[in-house]
Amino acid sequence: MTERKPIKTSQEDIVSYWETHEDESGLAIDWSDAHKRCWRCGYQSRLQRCHIVPHSRGGSETPSNLVLLCRRCHREAPNVTDPRFMWIWLRATCVPFYDSYWSIRGSFEFEQMFGRQPFTGIGLDESQAEQAKKLLWEEMQNATIHFGEGQMNPGTIACIFAKVEERLTGKPAKLKCPA
């Protein structure tokens, strides 16, 4: 097996190329933040150069074939030879507000587990919002981030939501009935 050489294309070159070739509408970032925030999740993190067309499929090391993603999003990026799908994926899976992507993914995971969105259908009133925030913070302190990851994973976030609901209502979380 041949050892791969590190990519020499700078992150600044990648951003400079794409800000003149791709509209930032529908992406997780503005081009002004594209050198420090993941283009999919919008979190500020150490960015990796991700091939649009994989290197193993003949993809080049040029700015036109690279985007900047955090490690977690890089692992989830499509590995196909049609470059259109990278941009479709980036736009279809991002969220419009910085630093909210993984919490939203946690909400989706919660829905898979419990059959509804967090904090819906459990009879909470508006006055419990401040208490919920406090409990969310407390439960986050009782959870951990997997070694090598920068944020909590969606499953952990879903469980935190469930624990807070239990504390607010005094009732155990009910698993979604299998289909």
Q: Please, what is the Cα angle at 70 between 155 and 140, to 5 degrees?
A: 35
- Which DSSP letter does residue 65 get? G
Please answer whether residues 65 and 83 qualify as being in contact, where contact means their C-beta atoms are separated by less than 8 angstroms. yes
Q: In the predicted model, is pLDDT for residue 18 greater than 90?
A: yes
| 92 CB-near residues (< 8 Å, 6+ apart) | none
Secondary structure class of 8 (helix, strand, coil): coil
- pLDDT range class, residue 178, cuts 50, 70, 90: low
- Residue with the larger pLDDT of the pair 71 and 151: 71
Least confident range of 34-48, 116-130, 141-155: 141-155
The pLDDT value recorded for residue 12 is 96
Set out the domains of the chain in order of their start, with CATH numbers. Answer: 11-93 (1.10.30), 101-169 (no CATH)
Q: In the predicted model, is pLDDT for residue 90 greater than 80?
A: yes
The pLDDT value recorded for residue 29 is 94
Q: Rounded to an integer, what distance in angstroms lies between the CA atom of residue 156 and that of residue 165?
A: 14
